[in-house]
Structure 1
Amino acid sequence: MTSVTAPPSATVPRAGLYAWYVATLLSLAHLISFVDRFVMSLVLEPVKADLGISDAQLGLLQGTSFVILYTVATVPLGRLADRVNRRNIIIAGIVVWSVATALCGLASSFAELFAARVLVGFGEAALVPAAMSMMASYFPRSQIGRAVSLFTTGASLGKSAALIGGGAVLAMLTAAGGMPFGPFGTLAPWQGTFVVMALPGIALAILLFSAREPARPVTSAARPSFADAWRYVLARRAAFFLHTGAAALTVMTIQTLAAWGPTFYIRFFDLTAPEAGLAIGSVILIAAPLGHLTGGFLTDMFQLRGSRAPAAPVIALGLTCAIPVLLLFTTSTSLTLSLVAYGAVNFFATMAAPATLAGVQMLAPDRLRGTLTSLFLATTTLVGIGVGPALVGLTTDLMGGPDQLARSTGIVVGIVAAGGVLLALASRRPFAAAATPD
């Protein structure tokens, strides 16, 4: 029987300040990617009114459109990250998704907006496999949980920036009656918001040239093929499939709550879009980074205490604690209590996030890390983002319309989180057997 613990190393290597500088830049890239991804959630109601679309279509715009090219492109881009300069891949991706976000603001129909969102997903597919590969090259196993938690914290801060900053821009443009935009005439406030929020990505792309590409281990072996990566996964299929399943349901929990949160408060507490963005963004700004950092700390703590399966207990604990506060969030009639519960569910759900990404780095050897991370991301993004928001929108329509959003969110997300707990617990022993050595 395989043991799930191993004695900790006598000497624990440490990453230097430059490694943390690069990690910070990558975290900023993750932040901006989530700004451009989640500004859509802020403007759902004006988009619904202007374009005359249903909740199911809003769900498609938030999730399905984004994942179509993301899931197709992330695997070849991950394989590319195993072969060429990872920093340059990230810079190119930032430029693409920033331009695509601006194009969202020029859309005048559901089809045009859907197409622009597809291009956003294509650009963002370049980031995480290359960033995770760089971090795994810069950081020792004993610090990878905290490094990844800094990266995933960028995602939550990006949601806050999208909601708070985007809300401020939306309010300003609403007061101004729109945004003059040369030959395109005057853009509606929601359209101008996309254009303004696309600008920070270009500045970061320039700044990222200051990050050095880390050296790769010297090996005489031929570069691995996709078939090599797939054989590696199949030889450890229980560990990979169970961990990836738990991660996908973790992503679905987090992203579905983020996608529908502003609309929830607009519909049930009569907040304006900027008010909802400020309220939710402020809550996420506090709760989610604390959740990410706590999850990274716990993952490293289990690792340093000798566990060879440190991800599973962190994922299971976070999602288990998220379920009761999710129910409070969706049923409370008090705005204050609902916001506190929304913050709590975000804290617990995001606590599980660093362990999901760090776990893949523990299962993957360096020569396959970009490819395996991209396979992992393709699966978790397709399920978590592609299915989650759309499923809530469809369930809301099937249950009777917009007034059923609270019930559909509680039911869908509650079931998803419970499934994530079960898969995480089931993954513990096979993960311990499959984890690569430090």
Structure 2
Amino acid sequence: MLRKDSAYAWYVAALLSLTHLISFVDRFVMSLVLVPIKAEMGLSDTQLGLLHGTGFVILYTVAAIPLGWAADRANRRNIIIVGIVLWSLATAACGLATSFSGLFAARVAVGFGEAALVPAAMSLIAAYFSRGKLARAIGTFTMGASFGKSLALIVGGMILAYLTAQGGMMLPGWGHLAPWQGLFVAAALPGLIVGLLLLSVREPARADDAVAKPGLKEVFAHIGRHRAAYLLHTAAASCAILLVQSYGAWAPTFYIRNFGFTPAEAGYAVGLVVLIASPIGHLTGGYLTDRLQARGVAGAPGVVIGTMLLLSVPVAALFCTTTDRTLSLASYALLNVFITASAPPGLSGIQLLTPERLRGVTSACFMAAITFTAIGFGPTSIGVITDLVFGDDKALGSSLLLATVIFAALGALLGWFSRAPVRAATPT
């Protein structure tokens, strides 16, 4: 019999966090090599944004709902294992690309594989944890994303520096790869190892195994009955994650352009900041959500999201405008704490709104919406603003600040207005 909140449950949460870490390594290693890719392929900032964001979301958003439907019926652990193998192979394919179209297609495949993770992982975590510890368990899961971004930048920077010194790498059966291509191939390997570790996760019996599995019609009917709560909460969370993704995608390039860092140096600096600051944000966001929820605060997830977004604005202004390297890195660290603290309440809010038997598809719908808007639009919009509004590579900081002001204000308003409908819709 499943014992919730047990030591084994925390082991499962930690292993799923490691899987999330790998997914973000493979997703964010692209941010480290935007400059060499631009130089080699002659791309614009808009095309770089398409590679980092839009290419990733195309199949992610299409596949998320059927994979969520599968997570409500099939073995969730096995769904995740198949996904991690697929996205790891697609990451290696990014390293074998020789054109924008080939690289874009490989990024599409990465997104398709990663679509399997969050719906199945959220359903597993919700099965292993009680409502009182759910947000903290989800905070552990989302913390893996920050560690993944850090490793993509720190370890990726080390590998990139080594490959640059070696003039690239030879891949048996393929031939010579440029340093940035070799980095993608190296990033693909850990996922295959983690896929084996996931075999140790036991698939818990579902609380409603005797009940017929829900169809999409039932899921959408439930969402429709509580549409104000779901729409406002999802929109607020989208604003928050859009900023997380935009800074994650462009921060290394910002330091290369504005402070003269090499790609490897930018990876070390940004990765170290994210490694220290972002886990604090994830744990803080989960803890605050659980505490406010326990105290009966209406719409606690939206309150946490809105508060963290408003706190991020003055810090973002400092980060984007200072010319002092130390102050820039310090402000970037604090900014990461605030914006990443918005991730756990976003995910936990959906779990709290949704009955267990509907969580797979509902989480998939939530992640499809978040991914399409935040990842698909966020990094690309920064590139478009830089190209079309400012027309200057060095204006990247201004683009980031403008986006922060707009989406932080919008997200805070949406989070505030979500409180009443979320309270009314949350089952007791």
What TM-score range do you get, normalising by the shorter chain? over 0.9
Q: 1:184 aligns with which of 174, 184, 189?
A: 174
Q: State the shift of 1:184 in Å.
A: 2.1
Q: Matched residue of 1:198: which SS?
A: helix
- Equivalent-residue separation in structure 1 for 2:404 and 2:168 (angstroms): 36
Specify which of 49, 70, 74 is matched with residue 84 of structure 1: 74
Per the TM alignment, residue 224 of structure 1 is displaced from its structure 2 partner at its CA by: 1.2
Say how many residue pairs are matched: 425
CA distance in 1, matches of 2:70, 2:201: 18
Instruction: Specify the alignment match of 2:392 in structure 1.
Output: 401
The aligned residue for residue 47 of structure 2 is: 57
The reply on whether 1:126 has 2:116 as its aligned counterpart is: yes
Partner of 2:402: 411
| Conserved 8 A contact 2:208-2:357 | no
CA distance in 2, matches of 1:219, 1:91: 23
**Quick one: distance in 1 between partners of 2:384 and 2:15?**
37
Alpha-carbon deviations, 1:252-283, whole Å to 9, x = none? 01000000000000000000000000000001
Please state whether the residue corresponding to 2:5 is helix, strand or coil: coil
Answer yes or no: is the 8 Å Cα contact 1:249–1:419 preserved in 2. yes
Structure 1 unpaired stretches of 5+: 1-12
Identity of aligned residues (%): 56
Residue number in structure 2 paired with 1:8? none
- What CA distance in whole angstroms lies between the structure 1 residues aligned with 2:4 and 2:380? 43
Q: Establish whether residue 286 from structure 1 lines up as the match of residue 276 from structure 2.
A: yes
Map of 1:241 onto structure 2? 231
CA RMSD of aligned residues (A): 1.0
Tell me the distance in 2 between the aligned counterparts of 1:435 and 1:219: 23
Q: Report 1:27-426 matches (<5 A).
A: 27-218=17-208, 220-398=210-388, 399-426=390-417
1:414 CA displacement: 2.0
| d(CA) in 1 for partners of 2:40, 2:393 | 17
**CA-CA distance at 1:14 after TM superposition:** 5.7
Tell whether the 8 Å contact from 1:292 to 1:354 is kept in structure 2 after alignment: yes
CA distance in 2 between partners of 1:62 and 1:389 (Å): 7
Q: Which runs of 5+ in 2 are unaligned?
A: none
- Answer whether contact 2:71 2:79 (CA < 8 A) is retained: yes
Deviates more, 1:272-281 or 1:210-219: 210-219
Q: Is the Cα contact below 8 Å between 1:256 and 1:413 reproduced in 2? A: no
Q: Could you say which residue in structure 1 is the equivalent of 2:427?
A: 436
Give the letter for the 2:271 counterpart: G
CA contact (8 A) 1:308 1:435 kept: no
The separation in 2 between residues aligned to 1:18 and 1:374, in whole angstroms, is: 25
> Structure 2: which amino acid aligns with 1:314?
V
Q: After the TM superposition, which of the residue ranges 297-306 and 24-33 deviates more from structure 2?
A: 297-306
C-alpha separation between the residues in 1 aligned to 2:6 and 2:399? Answer: 47
- Separation in 1 of the partners of 2:186 and 2:392? 32
Task: Tell me the amino acid that sits aligned with residue 42 of structure 1.
Answer: L
* TM-score of the aligned structures, taking structure 2 as reference length: 0.98
Residue identity in the other structure for 2:164: T
Deviation at 1:306, TM superposition (A): 2.5
Deviation at 1:219? Answer: 5.0
Which secondary structure state, in structure 2, belongs to the residue aligned with residue 386 of structure 1?
Answer: helix
C-alpha distance in 1 between matches for 2:14 and 2:190: 16
